[in-house]
Structure 1
Amino acid sequence: MNLAVVTEAEWAGDASGLSGIDKRPAAGRVAVRVDGVVGDFIAERAHHGGPDQAVYAYATEDADWWAAELGRALPPGRFGENLSTLGVDVTGAVIGEQWAIGSALLQVTKPRTPCRTFAGFWGVPDLVKRFTARAAPGAYLRVLREGEVAAGDPVEVRDRPAHGVTVGEVFRALNREPELLPRLLEATELPEAIREKARRRLGLTTDPR
C-alpha cells in the first residue's frame, strides 16, 4: 500500500499548488475506508477521490513496461497508485469485479484518466498522449467492506460480472475507439457519469452537457 508525500510544485493541478501524486510504500497495515485510504492526501478533490475513486491500483507489470520505455526506475507509487499489484491483469479487470485484499473488499469501478499533473510529476511533456496510446490506465476501486491492507496481501477475485466489460475497454471507448461506447451501457457498475457520457456521445440523450 502506498501513501502520498505532499508535494508543492508548479505542475500541481490544485489551486493550492499541492499534489498527492507522489506516493511511497507504507509500513504495516493501512486502513481503507469508503471515502479513501487513511493517511493518504488528495489535493484536487473535484477530480480525484470520493467513493468511486477511493483506491487506485496499477500493475507492476505495466510499470515495468514504462520503466523500460523511459529508461528510468519507477518504484511503487510513481503512478500515484495506492495499490501496486503483481500478477493481476488490471487492464483486463471487469468493471464491477470484486477484490478481497487483507480484510477489505474492493470493487473495480473505472479506469484512470491521465492529466497534466501526472505529466509534470514525471517531467515528460507528452506523457498524457503516450499514456493514452498505451491504454493501460490502472483501475479505480470503491470500498464495499472497510478493512486493512498491507504489502504482500494477495488479491483474491471474489466476483466477476458476466457483462465482461473491462477497464481497458472503457478507457479505449472514451479516448480512442468510440465504436466501443455501446458496451459501456452494459456495465451497470460503472459510475453513472460515465454511462451518461456514453449515452450523450451515442445520441441517446438530449442532455447538452
Structure 2
Amino acid sequence: HDDDQTAVDEQMEKELEDGNDPYANEPTRHSALIVHSDQPMNAEVPERLLTEEYITPAELFYIRHHHPVPVVDEEEARDYTLDVDLSAFGKGTMELSIDDLKTKFRKAEITATLHCTGNQRGRMNEVRRTSGTPWGQGAVSTAKWGGVYLRDVLAYAGLDDLEEMRSKGLEHVRFEGADGMTASIGIEKALNPFGDVIIAYEMNGRPLPPDHGFPLRALVPGYVAVR
C-alpha cells in the first residue's frame, strides 16, 4: 500500500538524518544469487540452479524486498508474539508466543511455490520497456513451510463464525509485518478449511531465515502481492 511505503520511507529518512544506516545489519546472502539491487535486496536464482532440486534451498530462495530486513535476534524472537486484534469484538489483543503456536496448535506443513509477478520482466524489456526490476526467470522458488493454520488461530480467538464476523462488518484479515508492510485477505480465504493459509515459523524444516520472514510470516497460497 502506498501509505505503508510512505511511512517506511519517512522512517528511513529519519534514520539517515540521525546518522543511522537502515541497511547496516542486512543478512549475508549466497554468492550465487543474481543481485538486481541491494538496497533493498532483490535477487534471483541463477537459471542453472533453478531446476536442480524441487525444493529450493533456503539460501538460494529468491529475495524480493521493499525495505530493509527487520533485525530480530534469537533472544528477541523468544519474546516475539503474534498479536490478534479483537477490538471489533469488544476485546483486547490476544498475544501468542512462538512457543504457544508450537504447543497449542497442530502443526501445518505446506509445500508452496512463490514467485514475483514481475518474473521474466527482463525479457519483456526486449519487446517493450517496462517499469520495475528486470528479473530473468529466477524470481521463483519452492519451499516446505511449517507453522500453524490461520483458521486454527482465529478459532482459538473465537473468530470461527463467518456470518458473525460479517455481521460486525469484518470482511478481511489484515496482516502487518515488522517491516511496516500491510496486506489483507478476505475472511472466506482465512477460514476456508482448504485455503491452506498458515502463519509460518519454519522453512524447509528450519527456522525462517531473516530474508524470508524470521521469526513469523504469513503464507497465503494462491494469492498475489506480498503474500
Q: Shorter-normalised TM-score: what interval?
A: under 0.3
Q: Quick check: which has more Rg, 1 or 2? A: 2
